[in-house]
Each structure stands twice: as C-alpha cells, then as structure tokens.
Structure 1
C-alpha cells in the first residue's frame, strides 16, 4: 500500500467545466472578488460544482493571490507535551482559525528535522516560538519572507526583553495563598533542566512574596521523576530548622510526586506538609488527597497571542505590556 491515493487533485478548471462557466468566473466566485458582477444563480452553480467535486483551493495558489501565507508555524521546545501544553496548542489552533490562519506545530525534540528545513519548506507568514531561539535564525527567517517572528519566553532580539507571558505571577500566586497558613515555604523544582525557562521565574515569584513579607527564602529541592523521587526532599523539608510546612510545586506533576513521597513515609497533606501545584491537570482532583492548584486561563492566553501575531502582520503597533494571564486558585484538600 502506498501513501498516495492515486486520485488527481481537483482543479478550478474541473469546477469550471462542471458549472459550465469560465475559469475566471470560478476564480471570481470562490475568491469573492470585489467589483465583479456575477449573477447569484451563477454563483450558486459554481459553489455547487465545487462542493460536488470536493474542490479545495491550493494553499500555494492562495498565497500567491493574497501575497501572504496563511500559515503560522509554532515552535515547541523539547518539553514534555503533557495536558496543559496540549491544551494550549489546541486553543492556539482555534484562535488562529478565527483569523483564517492555520497553526502548524513543529517540536524540537531529538531526531526532529532541523528547524531551518521546516520554515524554508513552509515559508509561513509568522513564527511563534514558545521558547527563545537564536537571533541569527530569526534574521534568516525574515530575510526569506517570514513577516513576523515572535517568542513567548525569552527573546529573538536579545536577552533583556521580558517574556510575552510571564511565569513569575504563578509562583507569586502560589506563595500568597500558602503564606496565609504557612510561614516557612519550600519549592519543588522539576528535574528537567530544559524546563528552567518556566521553573526559574516561578521560583522567583515565590521568593519575591517571601521577601515582601519578611519570610525566609524558600527551601528549594529538586524532585526527580519517579515513584520515590520526592522522598529525600520531603525528609529535608521536615528536618529543616524551622521545618518547612508548605510546598509550592513547579506544576501538578511535581506536586503529585511530593504527595506520593508523603504517603510512602506514612505522612499526609496538609497535616504534615501542605502542597500546591500549577495547571489543574485532570489527575489533580483525583489525587490522594485532592490537589490544590493554580488554574491558568490558557484560552485567554492563546487568543491574546493570536491577536499579537495578527496585529503584527497588519503592521499595527504592539502593546508594550506583557499578556495578562488570569490566575485563580482551585482550593482542594492538599493545602
């Protein structure tokens, strides 16, 4: 069995023959060309023929006609593609579709095709990277006709631009909730260095709140992934002087590892150690005990990112402020 269906692509000439009109008329109707007085009955005949034949306009032809690609290339770092990232990709796809743009995703995971091969093959209208990437690469994209190159975290123009979607408020929200009942906080850091672009600013948010309130620096421990990954960290937190009583975890997966470690030691949250996560993944409500977590409005983030890209394509002035990420606390039992 081959990868090709063997069927010839339906063209506008086929639609013209089926409808009994010229190819120019088909083009005028399907492209809704202004100032062309096409009778309504003819329009309906063309649309009907196109539907019967399953005609789909060529993306390349549409780009030539409009002078712009309709593709936005999304660049994913080598991060675990879990619930929240998958949800964000879906919401970005929907948000760009509302602007008649197609969102295509490329992951930089090991053994993936080189990025340069991807954007050269697609020549997208815009590139949206979740992490930073070299300015030299961004310059090559622009020189090749990619109109907008934007990074959510980090910068394509240098290291000093603040992120479009800051992560520090997430850690701050965790800390503000926890300090209502806990004066000594710990931070559960992920055991994946490539997640540092997210984890470090979240930790900075916790540190900032502790400093504002005159509390000690959070006791930071790395949690290795695995069933026993958090045991040594939990022992260290409880053995500190004074003991740590509240843990802000990088995300829900890390928080769940801390809860598992507590159970393996015969302890429980929040009585022995309170824990709060981030993302409200489906398993958070099913944890033992159910996990308190920070909820992000990723749909608002996706729509805002799409709007920034569309405005940049339309040469509109971009706002200087970062995108607001509405946050709330889903209060459960663990904290």
Structure 2
C-alpha cells in the first residue's frame, strides 16, 4: 500500500499554524509579518514530515506555461469550493493543463502575480473587475465567477436567489415568521449578505416581517442558545434559513437539546447539499448549487481563451441552483 502524500495541511497541523501561514513561509512570500519563531516551527514541521510541494505548485512558481491558478475568495473553503476546483481541473486536464488553487488571503492580484506566473487565472469570487486589469497588463487571461452578482465576470453564483429559494419554500409550507441562521465565521460575510437579502426580499413580497438574524456557532449548546432566542419571542420563529448545511445541522442539534423537532416546531433549510444532509435524521432540506457545473463551465471559459481553435461554445453565465426537499420542512 502506498503512503499518502504529505500536504501543507499536515504541515500546518504539526506546526500549529494556519495553512496560509505555511504557504507564506515555504514560498517566502514578501510583505508577511511572520515571526522568526513561527517560521522556524513551520520549517521544522515540513522537515519532520518530509513535505515537498506538489509538482504543479513548483511549476507555477517557475513560470511554466501549462498551469492555471485558481484563486478562491476569502470564504470558507468547503465542499462547494473544492467541487468547483475539481471540476475545472478535470475539464482542462485532457488539454495539457494542470491547476493549483489558493485563497486570496487578503492580497490583491498584483501581489499574487509577483510570485507566480500562470498561463491563466480562474477567479472564484476573489477579485473585482478593476483588480483583474492587473492581470491584463501581464497578458494573463482571467475568467471569473462572481459570488455577489458584480458585473465583469463570465459567471455568477446567485446568492440572493439561494436565500429567496429557501424563504419561498418555507413560506409555501405555511411558515410566517422566518429567521436566518448565520455562520459565525468572519469569512462567510460576503456570502451571507447576498443570501440574507434574498430572504428579506421574499418576506417583503409576502407581506411578512423581515427575518430575525442570529449567529449560530457549530456547537450544540451554543446553537441551543441561538434557537432559544428565536423561539422565546412574542412571535416565535417557525422557519429557519441556514447559511449552509453545517449551520442547519447545528440548528437541528440545538433544537433537540431544547426539546424541539423539525418540522413540527421549526422547519429548517440548508445550503450545499453535502452528503451528511441526506444521512441525518430527519434528513435535511437544502439548496443544491451545481458546483461541478460551475467548475466545468469555468474550465471551458479557460480553454476558450487559451485554445480558441477548439471552437468551444460559450457556457451558461449563471450557476444552476435547485431545492432538494427532505424531511426537515
């Protein structure tokens, strides 16, 4: 049996630092305030684990012309983001291209391009159209997917539509007082804003009060306190639109601790349709974002720029989302 390849995540875990800190240290990224002690811990952990960067990452730093850099927005990197990267990679790999992905980590595109030389950039909600001009100056084609509907990208994932779909479903099931269970992760802010706006719009359309917004940590006792705030009101909440499936599962755990059940007391809708959503009891109603389609479409946009001779038709410009109805509503 082959030994699993050591990853930067393993190094980060051994050193007790974030994955981005490992990247900064091992790539000697300029402008990062990293102490000598932290740098030494990372280098020692990498040596202990015999870590070596992937071939694609080494090629990217060396400026090889077959590597596409995928830059993710500063959002939680969960199943959806990884599915986008995976589908993009599978789409372009048969044409001789490899992918390397990284988070933006607060850097602008000019800073990113100082240390790497990709043949193209796939921007997953990381950069504004103005920032993308920096890549144009370097003759690096950029294709991007907007996470908030901003113009200037080849695709968008409609966050407001996700929230609207959650709320419309709950309202159709007779739920008249809705809440939005937000993530307590600061990186989720940009996605949250669009989704809450969609929930608010649906409530207004039906003449209902604006949704109650409550942060819901991923701990059962903390989630129970959040649920208690939603229920112990003059107008108790009867339907919850959750930021994602993890937050929805936290809401369900908090409800159980408070002696409540779904959907009898409170109906709950998540987002992402992770495998666990269909395995829990009651199974979770959720909004499924066709992440594979987003990644494949981005890959086709990359190929249209790099190999126009392939004659690839222009893909759709908006991700498909649909509701998966299960037992929590």
With normalisation by structure 1, the TM-score equals 0.69
Instruction: Report the Cα offset of residue 94 of structure 1.
Output: 1.0
Instruction: Report the Cα offset of residue 269 of structure 1.
Output: 1.1
**Secondary structure of residue in 2 paired with 1:229:** helix
Match of 2:324 in 1: 330
Q: State the alpha-carbon separation in 1 of the partners of residues 172 and 236 from structure 2.
A: 17
Q: State the alpha-carbon separation in 1 of the partners of residues 327 and 206 from structure 2.
A: 25
Instruction: Report the Cα offset of residue 87 of structure 1.
Output: 1.9
The more displaced of 242-251 and 222-231 is 222-231
User: Alpha-carbon deviations, 1:263-302, whole Å to 9, x = none?
Assistant: 1112111111111101111111222322111112212212
Query: Is it true that 1:246 corresponds to 2:246 in the alignment?
Result: no
Instruction: Report the Cα offset of residue 188 of structure 1.
Output: 0.6
Match of 2:255 in 1: 262
Give structure 1 stretches of 5+ with no counterpart: 1-58
Q: State the alpha-carbon separation in 1 of the partners of residues 239 and 114 from structure 2.
A: 49
Relative distance call for 1:206 and 1:287 in structure 2 (3 A) is: same
Contact map agreement 2:216 2:226 (CA 8 A) in 1: yes
Query: Is it true that 1:88 corresponds to 2:69 in the alignment?
Result: no
- Cα RMSD (Å) of the superposition? 3.2
Relative distance call for 1:135 and 1:85 in structure 2 (3 A) is: closer
User: Alpha-carbon deviations, 1:137-188, whole Å to 9, x = none?
Assistant: 5343332231335353369xxx765872221111111112111121111111
Match of 1:128 in 2: 122
Relative distance call for 1:322 and 1:170 in structure 2 (3 A) is: farther
* Larger Rg over CA atoms: 1
Contact map agreement 1:148 1:313 (CA 8 A) in 2: no
Instruction: Report the Cα offset of residue 122 of structure 1.
Output: 3.8
Match of 2:68 in 1: 72
Q: State the alpha-carbon separation in 1 of the partners of residues 122 and 142 from structure 2.
A: 8
Q: State the alpha-carbon separation in 2 of the partners of residues 134 and 327 from structure 1.
A: 24
Q: State the alpha-carbon separation in 1 of the partners of residues 158 and 137 from structure 2.
A: 29
Instruction: Report the Cα offset of residue 135 of structure 1.
Output: 6.4
**Secondary structure of residue in 2 paired with 1:196:** helix
Instruction: Report the Cα offset of residue 83 of structure 1.
Output: 2.2
Instruction: Report the Cα offset of residue 202 of structure 1.
Output: 1.1
Which runs of 4 or more aligned residues in structure 1 lie more than 4 Å from their structure 2 counterparts after TM superposition? 113-118, 134-137, 159-163, 312-316
Identify the match of residue 169 of structure 2 among 163, 177, 182.
177
Match of 1:150 in 2: 144
Instruction: Report the Cα offset of residue 249 of structure 1.
Output: 0.4
Counterparts of 1:231-242 in structure 2, within 5 Å, are 231-242=224-235
Instruction: Report the Cα offset of residue 222 of structure 1.
Output: 1.1
Instruction: Report the Cα offset of residue 328 of structure 1.
Output: 2.3
Match of 2:271 in 1: 278
Match of 2:186 in 1: 193
Match of 1:104 in 2: 100
Q: State the alpha-carbon separation in 1 of the partners of residues 133 and 66 from structure 2.
A: 20
The more displaced of 74-83 and 279-288 is 74-83
RCO comparison, higher one (Cα < 8 Å, 6+) = 2
Relative distance call for 1:100 and 1:166 in structure 2 (3 A) is: farther
Give structure 2 stretches of 5+ with no counterpart: 1-58
Contact map agreement 1:154 1:161 (CA 8 A) in 2: no
**Secondary structure of residue in 2 paired with 1:188:** strand
Q: State the alpha-carbon separation in 2 of the partners of residues 240 and 292 from structure 1.
A: 25
The more displaced of 119-128 and 217-226 is 119-128
Q: State the alpha-carbon separation in 1 of the partners of residues 179 and 249 from structure 2.
A: 15
Match of 1:302 in 2: 295
